[in-house]
Structure 1
Amino acid sequence: MSLKTKEKITLFWFRRDLRLQDNAGLYYALRSEYPVVPLFIFDRNILDDLEEKRDARVTFIYQAIQNLRDELKTLDADMLIEYGYPLEVWRKLVETYDIAEVYTNTDYEPYATERDRDVYQILKKKGIVFKTCKDQVIFDKQEILTSQGSTYTVFTPYSRAWKEKCNDFYLSSYPTRKYTGNFLPWKGQSVPSLADMGFQVVAYDFPPARVSSALLEKYDQERDFPAMEGTSRIGIHLRFGTVSIRKLVRQAREHSQTFLNELIWREFYQQILANFPHVGKGEAFRKPYDHIKWRYDEADFKKWCEGKTGYPLVDAGMRQLNAIGFMHNRVRMVTASFLAKHLLIDWRWGEAYFAEKLLDYDLAANNGGWQWATGSGTDAAPYFRIFNPTAQAEKFDPKNEYIRKWVPEFGTADYPEPMVDHKMARERCLKAYKDALDKG
C-alpha cells in the first residue's frame, strides 16, 4: 500500500458497483464526516476457482477499475487495490489505517452474505462502523411483499406490486458528484497487474454501458429473434454495476414495458435468492424436484456443451456461448430445456457451465432461468411443457440465419443426426418427473 495517512478516514468498498455516478453507498460515504478512500479487492476466493485464465470477465473488471482510477485522478484521488482473501485483507487494513467507517453496497449472493458477516465482525472488534446500502436493485428482499407480509414466489403479482410501488423517489439518482470534494487527496498507488494475479488480458469488444432508445422502441418485436440485434446486451454492465439500474428503469418506463418487465424479472430472482438462499447452494426451489433420477451421462453432456446435439438451434446457441461468452435469451431457454428434459441431465451441470462461460453471469438470474426451464423453480414452466427445439427454430429463426452463422455445416453430411428422438425424450422426461413428484 502506498497510501500514507494518519488521518481518520472512511473506506468505500467497491464490489458490484463499478461507477462513481449514481452510486448509493458511495454517496453516503462521501457525506460522512471523514475523507473517503475507495477500495477494491480482487477476491481470491472467487478468482482461484476460475480455471480459465483468459476469462474475459476478469479483463472487464480490470478495465472498469482502471476507468474508475482515471476518473478519481481528475479529482486528485486514487483507489486502494488489493489482491487476496477478503478477511485477510481487512485484518491488514484495520491495523494499517485509522478507519472510522466502511460503506459498501449490498450483495445478496450466499457467499457475499457470509463474507460480509465475517467482515462486520472484524470491523466491530475495532469499533469501526460497517454500513451496507441498497444499490443494484430498486427494491430489495423485504420491500415487495404480499398483503400477508410474505415473499412473492410468482412473477406476475410480484411485477404488479413492483410497478405500483415504483415511483420517482425510488428512481432518482444519487448525486455523488456534488460531494466528490470529500475524497481524500492522494496518488501513487501501485496496482497488481492481471499477470500478477495469474490472468491474461483478453482482447474483447465489450458492449457499451448504455441501451439505445431506438432499440427499446423495437424491443418487443425483435427480442425473440436471435438473428437480429434486438436485445440490450446490457447484462455484463448490470452484473458489475458499470451502469445504474435506476437509469435503466427510467429509460425502460419511457420506451419499453417489455424491457421493463425483463428488469423486474432480474429483481424478482434477486429477491428469491435473498429470501431463499438454498437455491444458490445447488438445491431446487421446489424440493420434490430434487428426487428426479437424472442421467449423469458425461458423453451426452459433452455433446451439448460443444453444440453437437443434432438439433440446430441448440447447437447454434451453445457455439455462440463458447465463442463469445453470450447466448441469445430465447436460445438460453431452449438449450436449458433440452439438457434437463430431452437429455434428462441434472440442470446443475448446465447451470455451472453457463456460470463458467457467460460474460453476464449472475447467480440469481442464471439459477432462476435454469430452474424455470427445468420446472423446479418459482413461477416455473410446468414440467410437462417441453420445448420442441425444431419448432422453436422454425418460429424464431425461420430463415436459419442464426443457425447458419454458428453451425456452418448445417444441411451438409458433416452435421450429426439428432442425438435423441424428440418424442421418446419427451415421454422419458414426463415419466421421470412424474415418478419424482409422486414421491415428493
Structure 2
Amino acid sequence: MKICLFWHRRDLRTHDNAGLAAALASGLPVVPLFIYDKEILDHLPEKADARLTFIYDEVEKLAAETEKAGGTFLARYGAPLAVLETLLKEFEVAAVHTNEDYEPYATKRDAAVGKLLKKHDVEFHSYKDQVVFAKEEIMTKSGTVPKVFGAYLKTYTAKLTDEMLLPYGSADAFKKAHLHSFSKEKAGPRPTLESMGFARKEQYFPPVKLPAESIVRNYHKTRNTPADEHGTTRESLNLRFGTLSVREVMRQAKGLNAKLLAEIIWRDFFMMLLWHFPNTATESYDPKMRDVPYRNNEDEFRAWCEGRTGYPLVDAGMRELNETGYLPNRVRMTVAGFLVKHLFIDWRWGEQYFADKLLDYEMANNVGNWQWMAGTGAISAPWFRVHSPESQLAQVDPELKYVKRWVPEVGTKSYPAPIVDHKFARERSVEAIRTARIAAS
C-alpha cells in the first residue's frame, strides 16, 4: 500500500499544523516521521544537551499520540538524504509532506530532498507553518526587501487578518485519520538518546501551553524587568520547536497586547531577512563593517562567557544563561552590546556562544539581533551607539534583585573590578569602527 510520510521538523505537535493537515487531507494513509539529523547533532558542543532532551521527549509524545490514534510513528537517526533513501526502499512512499524551514542549511537540504524524491517519482510538498508571512509576501512599495522594521510592521499588521490566524484542523483530523500501522519489526525501533551517543540533561522547560492572560496583558509593563520570572511569556522555546504554533500565540497576543504581537512579528521579520540574505549567518550584511579590526582577546571573551566582567548586569545575565539556557530580552541586548562594543570582540563569537547555550536558539533571531547590536546588519542600531551597562542596570534592576540572584558576591571584595572602563571602551570601539568604515568606502 502506498503511503504518505509527514516529516516533522520544527513543528513537534499535531494541533494547528499546516503540513500535517495537508498530509491528512491527501487521501493517502499517513505515517509521521522524525529524523534526528546527524549533520546537526554532530555539532552539538556537549553530549548531554537540554535541547536534544526536549526534542526527544516531544518526539516520544508524538509517537505515543500516533499509536493511540492507531498509527505508526517512524523515527530515525542519520543524515536526512540517507534516511529518506532507505525509507524509499523499505516502504511504498507516494508523497512526503513537511513544513518549510528558512535557514541556509535547511533550504539546501530541502532542495536536495526534492531532487531525490523526484528521481523516485515521489511527490514533495512543503507548507508555510512557522511564520505567518514569509519570503517575498511582504515587500516595499518599490519591490525591494524591507529593511526598516517599523514600515514592515505597519504593512504586516495591515495585511494580518483574523482568518490567517485560524488553526488548521490537524488535531481533529489526526484523531479520525487514516493513519497507517506497521508491525514493530517493519517499523523498527526508535532511536534513544543513548543509541545516538547522547545523554539526558534535565533542565526546566516552560510548559507547552499558552501563558496566563495576566502575563500577556501586562507584558509591555514587565518585559524589561528581569527579576520578574513572570514578566515575559517564555514562549520562545515552544515557538522554536513548534510545540505551540505561531498562529495560536499570535491569536492570544493580537487580542490582548499590541507590544507582544510586535515582538512576535520581529521573528517573522528576521526569518524573512535570513531567507533573502543567507550569507548573513556568517558574514556582516554591511560591506563597510566586514573588515572591522576586532580585538578578539580570548581571556576577556572567557571572562564574558563566565560572568566575570565586573559589570553586574552583564555577569548576572551570562551566569543565568550558563545555568538555565535562558536570557531575558533586555539582558540579552546588554550582554551582546558589551561584548561587541566594550570588549570589541567579533559578533560571531557571541552568536556562536548563544547558539551553544540558548534553549530557544533560533538562527534568524540570533543572527539578526547580534548584527543589530554590532551595527553590521540589514537592520541595525547605529554603529556608534554604545550603551552603558551601568545605566541599563539602573533602568531594569535598580534594587539589584536580579543581579543578587545570580551574582551574590556583588558589592564584596570577591567581586572583580570592571574589566574595562566604559568611557574608554566606547571611544576605542567607535574610533576603530569609524576608521574601518572610511577605509572601506
Normalised by the size of structure 1, how large is the TM-score?
A: 0.97
Q: Tell me if 1:165 matches 2:170.
A: no
> Contact between 2:98 and 2:125, CA under 8 Å: does it hold in 1?
yes
Letter in 1 for 2:4: T
Q: CA deviation at 1:114?
A: 0.6
Tell me if 1:435 matches 2:435.
yes
Residue 349, structure 1, aligned to residue 353, structure 2: no
**Preserved contact between residue 204 and residue 324 of structure 2 (Cα < 8 Å):** no
What residue in structure 2 maps to residue 21 of structure 1? 15
The one-letter amino acid of 2:69's match is: L
Aligned to 1:183: 179
Taking the TM superposition and a 5 Å limit, the aligned residue runs for 1:260-409 are 260-280=261-281, 282-409=282-409
Looking at structure 2, the residues matched to 253 and 177 of structure 1 have their Cα atoms a distance apart, in angstroms, of 23
CA contact (8 A) 1:76 1:187 kept: no
**Following the alignment from structure 1 to structure 2, what is the Cα–Cα distance between the partners of residues 198 and 88?**
19
- Tell me, in whole angstroms, the C-alpha distance in 2 between the residues paired with 1:236 and 1:242: 8
Partner of 2:92: 98
In 1, the alpha carbon distance for the partners of 2:182 and 2:427 equals: 67
1:118 matched to 2:119: no
CA distance in 1, matches of 2:171, 2:151: 37
1:142 aligned onto 2:136: yes
Instruction: Show the counterpart of 2:145.
Output: 151
1:199 corresponds to which residue?
A: 198
Question: How much has 1:179 moved relative to structure 2?
Answer: 2.6
Give me the whole-angstrom Cα distance separating, in 2, the residues matched to 1:78 and 1:222: 44
Deviations 1:92-126 (A, max 9, x none): 11111111111000000000111111111111101
Tell me if 1:43 matches 2:37: yes
- What's the CA shift for 1:10? 0.5
Alpha-carbon distance between aligned partners in 2 of 1:296 and 1:203, rounded to the nearest angstrom = 33
One-letter code aligned to 1:194? L
Aligned to 1:245: 246
Contact 2:306/2:319 (CA < 8 Å) preserved in 1? yes
Give the distance between the partners of 2:204 and 2:347, measured in 1 at CA: 30
* TM-score normalised by the chain length of structure 2: 0.97
Q: Decide which of 76, 84, 104 is 1:82's aligned counterpart.
A: 76
Match of 1:156, SS?
Answer: helix
Q: Is the 8 A contact 1:73 1:187 kept in 2?
A: no
Task: Provide structure 1 residue ranges, at least 5 long, that are not aligned to the other structure.
Answer: 1-6
What corresponds to 1:4 in structure 2? none
Aligned partners of 1:326, 1:123: CA distance in 2, in Å?
A: 39
Residue in 2 that maps onto 1:53: 47
| CA distance, structure 1, for counterparts of residue 129 and residue 346 of structure 2 | 34
| Structure 1 residue ranges, 4+ long, deviating more than 6 angstroms after superposition | none
The whole-number CA distance in structure 1 between the counterparts of 2:172 and 2:35 is 26
Q: Deviations over 1:368-389 (max 9, x none)?
A: 1101111111331101211100
| Matched length | 433
Matched residues in 1 for 2:385 and 2:155: separation? Answer: 27
Contact preservation (8 Å) 1:146, 1:152: yes
Q: 1:304-362, CA deviations, whole angstroms, 9 ceiling, x for partnerless residues?
A: 00000000000000000001001111000000000000011001000000000000000
SS at match of 2:33: strand
Q: Which amino acid aligns with 1:254?
A: G
For residue 290 of structure 2, give the secondary structure of its aligned residue in structure 1: helix
CA separation in 1, counterparts of 2:344 and 2:45?
Answer: 27
* Aligned: 1:233 with 2:234: yes
DSSP 3-state at the match of 1:195: coil
Q: Distance between the aligned counterparts of 1:187 and 1:98, measured in 2? A: 15
The whole-number CA distance in structure 1 between the counterparts of 2:284 and 2:42 is 27
In structure 1, what residue type is equivalent to 2:138?
I
Quote the offset at 1:286 in angstroms.
1.2
Percent identity over the alignment is: 47
Q: Which amino acid aligns with 1:184?
A: H
> Equivalents in 2 of 1:70, 1:89: separation in Å?
22
Q: C-alpha distance in 2, partners of 1:399/1:54?
A: 36
Which position in structure 1 is the counterpart of 2:125? Answer: 131
Structure 1: distance between partners of 2:191 and 2:325: 26
SS in 1 for 2:425: helix
Distance 1:398 1:202 in 2: 34
Query: How far does residue 187 in structure 1 lie from its aligned partner after superposition?
Result: 5.7
Q: Separation in 2 of the partners of 1:25 and 1:177?
A: 12
